[in-house]
Amino acid sequence: MGRIDGKTIWITGASSGIGEALTYQLDKKKCKLVISSRKEIELQRVKANCTHQENIEIISLDLSDLNDMPEKATLAFSAFGQMDILINNAGISQRSEIINTDISVYKQLMDINYLGTVALSKAILPYFMKAKNGHFVTVSSLMGKFAGPQRSGYCGSKHALHGFFDVLRMEHEKDGISVTMICPGYVQTNIDKNALTADGSPQEKHDIENQNGLPVAVFARKMIRAIERQKYEAYMGKKEVMGIYLKRFFPKLLHRIVVKSTE
């Protein structure tokens, strides 16, 4: 694809964290942006911080309202009459052990992280096919490639995204459509505060690992480079990225390291 400057991009989860940081950096690159999440007031705040506000359209949505996605896609496409990239960034995490976790928490994680992302992507797909151009960028996690305790439902939802988007890439490469999976390690956002606990209530506190993670602006810059290079998968973090290679070549060693580090 080359440089991202001036492209039309739809970012979900733009009211906070990674999506907010991406919005500011892409605004500087004069991209036309559709920004989405549930909290419209937060999206207004993000828009107000941008330099080129005429290039920013707000469409509020809740990813768990799966049937709303076709209408949201029509609105997003008509905002600027085209769409080059969908950044599926919105998501929630989890901090609870399997034995205690209510099944409703698994449903919520799958509805938002997996099914919502699938529904939104399916809704924009016909527009990308018609234009013979389109790039799906999905923010998964290192937890979409290996696992960590207290994140069983989160890991399941992120692993599932890789299966779906690997197939989408295979079926639609011929239509000029590409797919990039972004796998962050720890990034300094509110993902840990918003993480669901065993009964579905948010954890409401930061974890030391996240707060020692990559600063969100640094992460967003790396992510934009990976999008421009049209990488199939990009792993971004600190030493936790090693888990990818340990999982591939020494899975039992990775298991022992993770269990020991969380004892």
Write the single-letter amino acid at 164. F
76 makes contact with ligand NAP (CB under 6 A): no
User: Would you call 154 a catalytic residue per the annotation?
Assistant: yes
**Binding residue for ligand NAP, selected from 58, 181, 191, 236, defined by CB under 6 A:** 191
- Give the binding range for ligand NAP (CB under 6 A) out of 3-11, 162-170, 184-192, 196-204: 184-192
Instruction: From 157, 147, 145, select the one nearest 258 (Cα to Cα).
Output: 147
The answer to whether residues 230 and 178 touch, using CB atoms and an 8 Å cutoff, is yes
Please give the DSSP secondary-structure letter assigned to residue 235: E
243 makes contact with ligand NAP (CB under 6 A): no
In the complex, the smallest distance separating the C-beta of residue 31 from ligand NAP, rounded to whole angstroms, is 18
Q: Mask 14-53, x = binds ligand NAP (CB under 6 A)?
A: -xxxxx-----------------xxx--x-----------
Residue number, 101 or 203, with CB nearest to ligand NAP: 203
150 makes contact with ligand NAP (CB under 6 A): no
Question: Strand pairing partners for 88?
Answer: 138
The catalytically annotated residue of 154, 232, 235, 245 is 154
**Count of residues touching ligand NAP (by CB under 6 A):** 32
**Binding residue for ligand NAP, selected from 89, 96, 121, 152, defined by CB under 6 A:** 89
68 makes contact with ligand NAP (CB under 6 A): no
Instruction: Tell me phi and psi for residue 92, to 5 degrees.
Output: -130, 155
CA distances from 125 to 86, 90, 119, 168, 172 (A): 10, 18, 10, 10, 9
Pair type for strands 177-184 and 8-12: unpaired
CA distances from 159 to 99, 137, 176, 182, 251 (A): 21, 15, 25, 12, 16
**Binding residue for ligand NAP, selected from 139, 224, 244, 254, defined by CB under 6 A:** 139
189 makes contact with ligand NAP (CB under 6 A): yes
Give the C-alpha separation, 263 to 253, whole Å. Answer: 16
- Residues found near ligand NAP in the complex (CB under 6 A): 12-13, 15-19, 37-39, 42, 61-64, 89-93, 112, 139, 141, 184, 186-187, 189-191, 194, 210, 213
